[in-house]
Structure 1
């Protein structure tokens, strides 16, 4: 954790080089991050991809959680294992596999390809959170609604969804975070015309390192930490059985 936190004061250095402790204090590197088209475009691309990924992963992950928790079908365990496999399989292997497939589909270097790839990585986090909420909720409430004449759709909309909503929202936040700071898969699937912020950082570090990289790193860290804290707060709102 300490090496990560060292980046924060380095981002406020007045020097033209990365130094610790910083030589004077300045916010000019943050100003450069905002005004430089490369960084600002990368930031917008990351936000756009993460937002779309969060929406798609939340919908698919919620449906998958409902299917694996409530469904009764042969091979349910295998399906669940396949859905959660991105949590176990090394990301570099996933990236190579996705690249070979997406090249055939001609969607590399596009926002569509990146959103699909990030969604595959993010869905497991949604499934875990929603499945936990489903297992902890009181199913007697659903049965009571059905006994009063509510159909499956209305029962889900009026009873189930409100009860599992903290898990759904927490999963969506984790999905956003997963996409927001993802770099390995993004390196394989982005192009010079469309880069996310982590990929832009990677390219800049390979060429020249100035304190702007520290400012961007601090921004990424701040957004990720804030969303993680928010996800844990939301998750704690889940009703106990």
Structure 2
């Protein structure tokens, strides 16, 4: 006897409605960015792209976008190799050490961001890195590292380590066996981890509020300031651009995983 398709259809419909409910407030930002009025109003009155023009012409907004891209790119370049090496090391751990190390690596996900921000502020202040891009990169690397480790570790579980042993038995050095045999198999996880690291850094607001100061304001911090002091449609335009970048990177992540 075949199971009735009605419960499955009801569950799918309910899931779809919940997803639409969660996504709609985010998508509503896009219409707000094309209004002709000088304030945020829904539904938008008229059609104008002047707020996008303001976004890309204003020195403050352009500087914030540049800082975000530089910080996210440097964070990706730093977090990806470190996270990959940590995942490789964890894969070789055995016994009672594995669980404590796993917890330590995942702490930036477990601990609230505000706690990490306060801790990083005290550390970076002593190093005179508050209000600098290097300070942001260090803080965001700590935040993004677990996501790289998780993605690389997930791929490592599928890797047949006998291939590396075969390469070693044929005369390959440990470095050459890793570069020619292991790393190509890990590349989907490495690429996914790199994309996650970029997104985590680019979208972060909590840690950036503590670390950026006035010398390294990122796009989320600039948006926060715009919401606090002037609710201008240019904030909606920046939100739409940020949403588009995040969606494109997630599509790229899905394509990488499918490959």
TM-score range with shorter-chain normalisation?
over 0.9
More displaced, 226-235 or 150-159?
226-235
Tell me which residue corresponds to 2:74: 52
The Cα shift of 1:97 comes to: 1.0
- Residue 157 of structure 2: SS of its match in structure 1? helix
Q: 2:137 maps to what in 1?
A: 115
Q: For structure 2, list consecutive stretches of 5 or more residues without a partner in the other structure.
A: 1-22
Taking the TM superposition and a 5 Å limit, the aligned residue runs for 1:1-241 are: 1-72=23-94, 75-237=97-259
Q: Which runs of 4+ in 1 moved over 4 A?
A: none
Shift in Å, 1:74: 5.3
TM-score by length of 2: 0.89
Q: Distance in 2 between matches of 1:57 and 1:162?
A: 19
- After TM superposition, give the deviation of residue 215 of structure 1 in Å: 0.2
CA distance in 2, matches of 1:84, 1:162: 25
| In 1, Cα distance between equivalents of 2:100 and 2:196 | 24
Counting matched residue pairs gives 237
Q: Cα RMSD (Å) of the superposition? A: 1.1
- Structure 1: stretches of 5+ with no match in the other structure: none
Structure 1 or 2, whichever has the larger Rg, is 2
Listed one character per residue, the Cα deviations across residues 20-56 of structure 1 (whole Å, up to 9, x for unaligned) are 1111111110000000000000000000000000010
TM-score w.r.t. length of structure 1? 0.95
Shift of 1:72: 4.0
In structure 1, what is the Cα distance between the partners aligned to 2:114 and 2:215?
A: 22
